[in-house]
């Protein structure tokens, strides 16, 4: 700049002698002021340095001026370009004088400047001088006129299609710049020169464009632009758009082209499947493709293509792959799966096709000669397919939990996953992720034990399919098993599931929310399987043997992990817990009044196969007790003349108020602790019991009967004035209603306290029984805790006074609802009674613990609470089931009773 300044002055003087200065102002000095490296040798400064100006210097100067005047781009600003960007540009080209052929003298000047004469005259650089001047002219014009406009456009808030506008503008600008050159200048040059000149000018243009438009702003726009069209071209929009789903149905017939996995699966043959993707492209897809390719062409032309655009394209395609996998395969779990094949085909036919087309356009300048080197090789496609499978794998991993929930409708998803879990890292990923989901979604207090068990069963099955060796299952089962062990009701859920009625063959196994019917079915099935013996690792002839995978845990043992029952039963350290629970449940079921216990027997037999006879001996005895007692019952009744010989007479005896009595004789030692309510049964029942006992003792010497009055069922028949009531009720309910039996007076009224004293029954139980009878509309309560027999059902009019005051129901309410209320009240009272008896049982247990505590504190001196709990946990057989807080409460009770005192440091001390 500094060095050239005096030269400019000198040149002005020369030009000024020929042309008016006004023109000079309008046009930039032909001398490129801001180019420093290319042009010094071609600037006309030579003329000044040469001591003797050549004769045709003047001619040359004139020609130069004419040509530069012709070629100079008018400073029209940005607005016209922006306005004309949609047109083909001929308007503005004309306006800006870019198309009109040069005047005759200008043409001559052009010819002169490009001719070899001038070349000789200006060393060899004249045409280059002209072109580099023009390059600078482009730059100047762009920077002064377009740059600000474009920049503002780029920053405009309206981002939609913004990049297209910009590219259109740039394309128009490019045409404006290059049109005269292409039309009038290049034909004057030799062919090899033409290419060089054009490339040079284009490069100039590209440089200034990329200089003015920061790439950091372009690339997000480009990403958005590419993504929009790629979504259509790759068919992802049809997958995600729910509304198209519906419309698809009506155009199902003529819509041949689809990338949807569902449609693809519908086709039977492989050819048809291939066709559906490659042929009959949608109009919208073709449009989008053309649009995108045209846009990319423009992009490439204006110099925004190349490597940078390729990078953007790569990242977009990366997103597209994930997007497609997500859209196409989410919740597509049907078996047998063909998602991997579908994905491979899609990548080959659709994805790779787009990639090839796009990359052919936005190649890097360096590879212009060898464009084929940018082409997508087959190896690339394969790599993409692998990536696609990996994406599918991670999709399946993320939805694996739901897959398990849907099991077995979702077998296909597990098969997909098998394609993915081929190396340890992927397997690790699957298990890690799954354990995480488990902790979040399943292993929390909100899930019921049955739910967890049910899922665990599904997990066992699914993982068995995924990894027959069971290593993965081993890994993910650990947290579940640990968690299940901590749940109190796990054993109960399992055992009741085992004892549940299995569904009839052919019916689907539907486990309700509170029992695991599935387990019963599984038990039967597993038994059949186990008949086919497994010799496991020692089977030398097993041709399918494979070593344990490398990622097996050190303490991993090959177990028959597919065996659901084994997995569940082995949750517990010993079989004893399991057997104990089994006994309790079995006891409940056996005490019911039923004629056969086939289900229990078969379950027991099946379990014996697993656990061995000895473990289930107690259960065995229980079952035998029931069958034996049936026989004994018959014998005793015969001996004692308790049974009525002919059937008809039996009815008569009932009528005569001599009830029949049957007994189940349980071997106390083998039965679990049964909660019992003690009370006095009616006198003549006692006498019957005594006769029965006598008969039994005669039959079985040295054995004694202890009657458990709280257990059992009674069939009662109540003769009321206007009706007869027959039902099967519990013994205590029967005892209570028996107490109401009318001797003389028509209306018997009793209070709960009376009954409680009379029957030696707890008040809650009495109340519960009374409410039961209220719900049956045999008794009525008024006032509270006082009951009388409803000999005659009240009519509607009488309803109101007769309404149980306890229920507090409005008088208008119908009789039905009041009896419903009463039934609910009865149920609540029964629950309260049950709770009371459970509490009594707890107290009894606590007594034992109290002995331990006394022993401990007597011998070890005063101890703090945590220490006591710890010691109890160690020394009490079967463990100490209560928490610190519960024990603290209990001990507080003992302190208040004066049996303990609290000494310094919160230690408990026994009071002697």
- Residues forming contacts to another protein in the complex (CB under 8 A) are 848, 851-852, 854-856, 858-861, 863, 867, 870-871, 874-875, 877, 912
User: Residue for token digits 């005793």?
Assistant: 636
- Look up residue 657 and give its DSSP letter: T
3-state secondary structure 108-165: HHHHHHHCHHHHHHCCCCHHHHHHHHHHHHHHHHHHHHHHHHHHHHHHCCCCCCHHHH
Reading the block at residue 697, the tokens are 């003792």
Nearest-10 crossing angle of helices 126-141, 191-212: 20
Least separation in angstroms between residue 877's CB and another protein is 6
Nearer to another protein, 746 or 879 (CB): 879
Residues 6+ apart with CB under 8 A from 104: none
Nearer to another protein, 34 or 669 (CB): 669
Which residue from 344, 340, 318 is spatially nearest to 421, judged by alpha carbons? 340
Least separation in angstroms between residue 702's CB and another protein is 24
Nearer to another protein, 574 or 859 (CB): 859
Does residue 512 sit in helix, strand or coil?
A: coil
Least separation in angstroms between residue 537's CB and another protein is 24
Nearer to another protein, 354 or 871 (CB): 871
Contact 154, 166 (CB under 8 A): yes
Nearer to another protein, 422 or 858 (CB): 858
Least separation in angstroms between residue 838's CB and another protein is 22
User: CA angle, 372 as apex, 369 and 374 as ends, to 5°?
Assistant: 100
Phi/psi of residue 439, nearest 5 degrees: -60, -35
By residue count, the chain amounts to 912
Least separation in angstroms between residue 901's CB and another protein is 13
Nearer to another protein, 535 or 912 (CB): 912
Q: Which long-range CB contacts under 8 A does 686-689 form with residues at least 24 apart? A: 688/642, 688/659, 688/661, 689/661
- The DSSP line for 16-33 is HTTS-HHHHHHS--SS-T
Least separation in angstroms between residue 851's CB and another protein is 4
Least separation in angstroms between residue 874's CB and another protein is 5
Least separation in angstroms between residue 906's CB and another protein is 16
Which residue from 127, 160, 154, 128 is spatially nearest to 209, judged by alpha carbons? 154
Half-sphere CA count of 129, side-chain side, radius 13 A: 28
Least separation in angstroms between residue 576's CB and another protein is 14
Least separation in angstroms between residue 710's CB and another protein is 25
Least separation in angstroms between residue 854's CB and another protein is 7
Distance of alpha carbon 763 from alpha carbon 199, whole angstroms: 107
Which residue from 468, 469, 390 is spatially nearest to 426, judged by alpha carbons? 390
Nearer to another protein, 195 or 861 (CB): 861
Least separation in angstroms between residue 905's CB and another protein is 13
Nearer to another protein, 33 or 858 (CB): 858
Contact 260, 238 (CB under 8 A): yes
Phi/psi of residue 252, nearest 5 degrees: -50, -40
Half-sphere CA count of 702, side-chain side, radius 13 A: 0
Around Cβ 888, how many Cβ atoms within 10 Å? 15
Nearer to another protein, 17 or 859 (CB): 859
Distance of alpha carbon 99 from alpha carbon 578, whole angstroms: 97
Least separation in angstroms between residue 893's CB and another protein is 19
Reading the block at residue 541, the tokens are 């002839």
Reading the block at residue 853, the tokens are 């505590």
Nearer to another protein, 330 or 907 (CB): 907
Least separation in angstroms between residue 881's CB and another protein is 16
Contact 296, 358 (CB under 8 A): yes
Maximum CA extent, the chain: 159
Least separation in angstroms between residue 878's CB and another protein is 10
Contact 432, 387 (CB under 8 A): no
Nearer to another protein, 274 or 870 (CB): 870
Around Cβ 785, how many Cβ atoms within 10 Å? 17
Nearer to another protein, 468 or 861 (CB): 861
Contact 451, 483 (CB under 8 A): no
Nearer to another protein, 553 or 843 (CB): 843
Burial (CB count <10 Å: 0-12, 13-18, 19+), residue 682: middle
Contact 714, 730 (CB under 8 A): yes
Nearer to another protein, 155 or 859 (CB): 859
Nearer to another protein, 16 or 864 (CB): 864
């Amino acid at each position: 700049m500094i060095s050239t300044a005096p030269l400019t002055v000198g040149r002005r003087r020369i030009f000024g002698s020929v042309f008016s200065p006004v023109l000079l102002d309008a046009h930039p000095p032909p001398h490129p002021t801001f180019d420093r490296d290319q042009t010094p040798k071609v600037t006309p400064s030579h003329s000044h340095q040469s001591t003797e100006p050549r004769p045709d210097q003047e001619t040359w100067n004139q020609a130069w001026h004419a040509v530069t005047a012709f070629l100079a781009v008018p400073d029209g600003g940005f607005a016209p370009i922006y306005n004309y960007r949609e047109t083909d540009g001929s308007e503005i080209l004309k306006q800006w004088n870019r198309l009109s052929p040069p005047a005759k003298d200008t043409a001559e000047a052009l010819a002169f400047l490009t001719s070899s004469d001038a070349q000789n005259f200006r060393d060899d650089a004249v045409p280059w001088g002209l072109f580099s001047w023009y390059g600078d002219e482009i730059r100047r014009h762009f920077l002064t006129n377009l740059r600000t406009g474009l920049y503002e456009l780029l920053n405009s808030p309206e981002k939609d299609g913004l990049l297209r506008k910009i590219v259109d503008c740039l394309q128009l600008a490019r045409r404006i710049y290059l049109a005269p050159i292409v039309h009038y200048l290049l034909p004057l040059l030799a062919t090899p020169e033409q290419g060089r000149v054009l490339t040079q000018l284009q490069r100039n243009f590209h440089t200034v464009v990329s200089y003015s438009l920061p790439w950091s702003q372009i690339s997000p726009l480009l990403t958005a632009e590419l993504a929009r069209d790629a979504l259509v071209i790759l068919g992802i929009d049809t997958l995600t758009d729910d509304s198209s789903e519906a419309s698809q149905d009506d155009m199902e017939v003529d819509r041949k082209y689809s990338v949807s996995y569902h449609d693809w699966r519908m086709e039977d043959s492989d050819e048809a499947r291939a066709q559906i993707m490659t042929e009959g492209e949608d109009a919208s897809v073709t449009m989008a493709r053309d649009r995108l390719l045209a846009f990319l062409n423009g992009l490439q032309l204006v110099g925004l293509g190349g490597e940078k655009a390729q990078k953007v394209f790569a990242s977009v395609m990366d997103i597209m792959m994930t997007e497609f996998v997500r859209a196409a395969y989410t919740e597509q779990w049907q078996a047998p799966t063909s998602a991997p094949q579908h994905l491979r085909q899609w990548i080959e036919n659709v994805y790779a096709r787009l990639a090839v087309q796009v990359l052919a356009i936005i190649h890097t300048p360096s590879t212009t000669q060898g464009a084929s080197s940018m082409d997508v090789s087959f190896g690339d496609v394969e790599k993409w397919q692998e990536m696609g499978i990996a994406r599918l794998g991670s999709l399946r991993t993320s939805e694996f939990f739901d897959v398990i929930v849907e099991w077995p409708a979702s077998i296909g998803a597990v098969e997909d996953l098998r394609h993915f879990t081929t190396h340890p890292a992927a397997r690790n990923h699957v298990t890690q992720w799954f354990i995480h989901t488990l902790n979040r979604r399943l292993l929390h207090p909100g899930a019921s034990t049955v739910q967890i068990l049910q899922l665990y069963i599904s997990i066992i099955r699914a993982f068995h399919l995924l990894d027959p060796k069971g290593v993965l299952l081993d890994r993910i089962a650990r947290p579940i098993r640990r968690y299940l062990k901590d749940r109190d009701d796990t054993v109960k859920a399992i055992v009741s599931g085992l004892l549940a009625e299995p569904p009839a063959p052919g019916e689907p196994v539907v486990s309700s929310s509170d029992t695991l019917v599935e387990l019963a079915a599984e038990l039967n099935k597993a038994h059949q399987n186990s008949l086919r013996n497994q010799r496991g690792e020692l089977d030398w002839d097993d041709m399918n043997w494979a070593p344990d995978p490398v990622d097996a845990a050190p303490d991993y043992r090959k177990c028959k992990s597919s065996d659901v029952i084994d997995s569940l039963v082995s949750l517990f350290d010993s079989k004893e817990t399991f057997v104990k629970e089994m006994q309790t449940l079995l006891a409940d079921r056996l005490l019911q009044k039923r004629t056969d216990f086939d289900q229990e027997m078969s379950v027991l037999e099946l379990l014996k196969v697993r656990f061995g006879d000895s473990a289930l001996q107690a259960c065995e005895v229980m079952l035998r007790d029931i069958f034996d007692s049936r026989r004994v019952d018959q014998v005793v009744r015969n001996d004692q003349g308790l049974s009525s010989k002919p059937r008809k007479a039996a009815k008569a005896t009932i009528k005569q108020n001599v009830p029949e009595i049957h007994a189940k004789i349980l071997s106390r030692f083998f039965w679990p602790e049964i909660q019992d309510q003690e009370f006095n049964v009616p006198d003549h029942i006692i006498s019957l019991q005594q006769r029965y006992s006598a008969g039994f003792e005669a039959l079985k010497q040295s054995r004694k009967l202890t009657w458990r009055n709280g257990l059992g069922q009674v069939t009662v028949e109540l003769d009321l004035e206007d009706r007869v009531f027959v039902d099967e009720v519990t013994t205590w309910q029967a005892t209570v209603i028996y107490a109401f039996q009318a001797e003389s007076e028509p209306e018997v009224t009793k209070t709960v306290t009376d009954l409680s004293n009379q029957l030696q029954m707890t008040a809650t139980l009495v109340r519960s029984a009374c409410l039961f009878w209220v719900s049956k509309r045999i008794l009525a309560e008024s006032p509270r805790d006082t009951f009388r027999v409803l000999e005659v059902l009240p009519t509607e009019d009488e309803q109101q006074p007769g309404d149980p005051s306890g229920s507090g129901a409005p008088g208008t309410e119908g009789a039905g609802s009041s009896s419903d209320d009463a039934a609910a009240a009865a149920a609540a009272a029964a629950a309260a009674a049950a709770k009371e008896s459970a509490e009594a049982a707890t107290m009894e247990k606590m007594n034992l613990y109290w002995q331990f505590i006394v022993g401990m504190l007597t011998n070890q001196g005063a101890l703090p609470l945590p220490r006591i709990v710890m010691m109890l946990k160690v020394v009490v057989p079967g463990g100490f089931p209560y928490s610190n807080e519960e024990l603290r409460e209990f001990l507080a009770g003992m302190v208040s009773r004066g049996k303990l005192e609290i000494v310094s440091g919160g230690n408990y001390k026994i009071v002697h």
